[in-house]
Amino acid sequence: MLFNSPFFIFIFLPIVVFGFYYLSRKGFFRLSIAWLVAASLFFYGWWNPIYLILILSSILFNYFIGRGLSRNKNSNNVLLLLTVGVFANVGLLIYFKYTHFFIDISNSLFNASYDIEAIILPLAISFFTFQQIAYLVDAYKGKAQEYNFLHYCLFVTFFPQLIAGPIVHHSEMLPQFSDNSRQQFILKNIVIGMTIFSLGLFKKVILADGLGVYATPIFNAAEAGSVLSFFEGWFGSSAYLLQLYFDFSGYSDMAVGLAAIFGIVLPLNFNSPLKSHNIINFWSRWHITLSRFIQDYIYTPIAISSTRFSMRNNLPGIPEFIICVAMPTGIAFFLAGLWHGAGWNFVIFGLLHGSYLIINQAWLAIRRWLGHDVNSHSIIGIFLGRIITLLAVLISFVFFRAESFDGAKNILIAMTSLDGMYLPETYLIHVTQVIDLTNFFALIGVEFSGSDNLLQRRMVLNTIIGFLVVFLVPNTMQIIGRYWDGYEKYSVSPLESFWKKGQWQPNIKWAFVMSIIFVLYLSSLSKISEFLYFQF
């Protein structure tokens, strides 16, 4: 079931909201939680009911392992219990997500032809597996003290964040589920929740899906081996980056909005990452909760062990940096790339971002060694940093989108091939309409030839508009501002004075804006599409 489907919006959601608040109003607080759990399982089972067995088995296994870890903190077997729990979760993920990938590698290495039947990837397995691994580690460290099974079920299955995140911590959600005051019907929660949901719906249906129709033909042509032009490469990759940006931003907004309807605050998972001035800043804004998981449960343990090794062996500067910073970062983002998908393109994506981060960390280390204040940034520095970061991210997401290495290579060749700088002949009318710019384009090596089958004028215009929206329009949390409880909590930067009058308020003007969004949504019901992060 999709957040942007008519069944979800007009049938499922109203029934669930009504049932939840009706039971809460009658004082049946445990029953209202059970209602949410049942609704969430129905939501998950809508895709494939057979995998309800999988998620319920995972919940039962991890709940009892977690209880065992919490109750036997001083036992000699507690580390063994944690190891069994983590390996069982990782093993389940490997079987469903990576079996075919590893078989393909084995066939290539040993010139074999092993084959097994297709394994259907269960929806959201990457998300609920990581979430429960974090719970087990927290239980081992004594940070997870909640033993209510019903609350734990909702922690794992809560439908606003079940399918594509955010990856939440046990300590963030369980206290909210236990707080009966959050189950009281508050009109403000409904209004703000629906507003955030509607803004996310607009990003998905109008912006993301609108760009996807242009990016897909270019990447399909690259997979087919077609020779692409310079502009087709750049606009195709840019259209996809913006499609993914608005798609994931839209989903993240919709998840936060849906949770707010039930009085629950989800952690922020997306915060204008393309406005980042370096790659470290990018990963603190893109898929924030995944970055947090990588930091807490992969990078930090490796870095701590590496630092101890470095101190014991008294390693000097560069070797110390390699052991304590570069190696943990490389391993963490190799695994982050694999988490996104079972394929070499995702490995390359992860290694690219690992390399970017290592270079960024090395640059900061050099600046500190020179006595610079690394927290101080000039306007020119921020501008150049944003351009470099955007280009680095754009290149990496070519591998993220392409179905094969050859497909990604063909896109990158087009982006770096200056002898393919031509525009369709139909563009000539636009460069001569006001001022004749044909000589200028000839001077910079741009020719006009061929048709605009791939590089459509609307694609170029929509891509440019997409970037303008990214860089000039405030994000959802800035629009909601002080009205959302999570605004101050997550320290979202305040709006510039130019945008302050555009902040959301509970008035007729914004009600009219929301109604326009729903009219636009209704006009696109024939083109309902999945969220891109569902495949991970």
* Percentage of the chain exceeding pLDDT 70: 90
267 and 166 Cβ atoms separated by less than 8 Å:
yes
- What pLDDT, on a 0 to 100 scale, did the predictor assign at position 377? 80
Neighbours of 235 (CB within 10 A): 23
41 vs 76: which has the higher pLDDT: 41
The amino acid present at 36, given as its one-letter code, is L
Q: Are 27 and 143 in contact (CB under 8 A)?
A: no
Q: Would you name the residues annotated as active-site residues?
A: 340
User: Token pair of 17, please?
Assistant: 């909201």
Name the more confident of 273 and 182: 273
b/e map 299-309, b = 16+ CB within 10 Å: beebbeebbee
Closest CA to 469 of 169, 246, 151: 246
**Higher per-residue pLDDT: 507 or 446:** 507
Would you put residue 501 in left (φ > 0), alpha (ψ -120 to 50) or beta? alpha
Residue type, 498: F
Amino acid at 215: A
pLDDT value of position 110: 81
Tell me what pLDDT residue 515 has: 86
* 172-186, 260-274, 385-399, 401-415: range with lowest mean pLDDT: 172-186
First to last CA, the chain: 16
Residues 345 and 398: their CA atoms lie apart, in Å, by 9
pLDDT at residue 428, rounded to an integer:
65
Residue 136 confidence (pLDDT): 92
Tokens of 149: 């099974």
Confidence at 408, pLDDT banded by 50, 70, 90: very high
What one-letter code names the amino acid at 3?
F
Calpha distance 323→315 (Å, rounded): 9
Q: Within a 10 A sphere around the Cβ of 158, how many other Cβ atoms?
A: 23
| Whole-number Å distance between alpha carbons of 173 and 376 | 36
Average pLDDT in the 460-475 region?
90
Structure tokens at 98: 């990576």
- For residue range 228-256, what is the model confidence (pLDDT) as tens digits? 888 889 999 999 999 999 999 999 999 99
- The model's confidence at residue 373, banded by pLDDT at 50, 70 and 90, is confident
Q: Tell me what pLDDT residue 498 has.
A: 54
Q: For 358, phi and psi rounded to 5 degrees?
A: -65, -45
Q: 143: burial class by Cβ within 10 Å (0-12, 13-18, 19+)?
A: middle
pLDDT over 90, % of the chain: 47
Tokens for 158? 């809560």
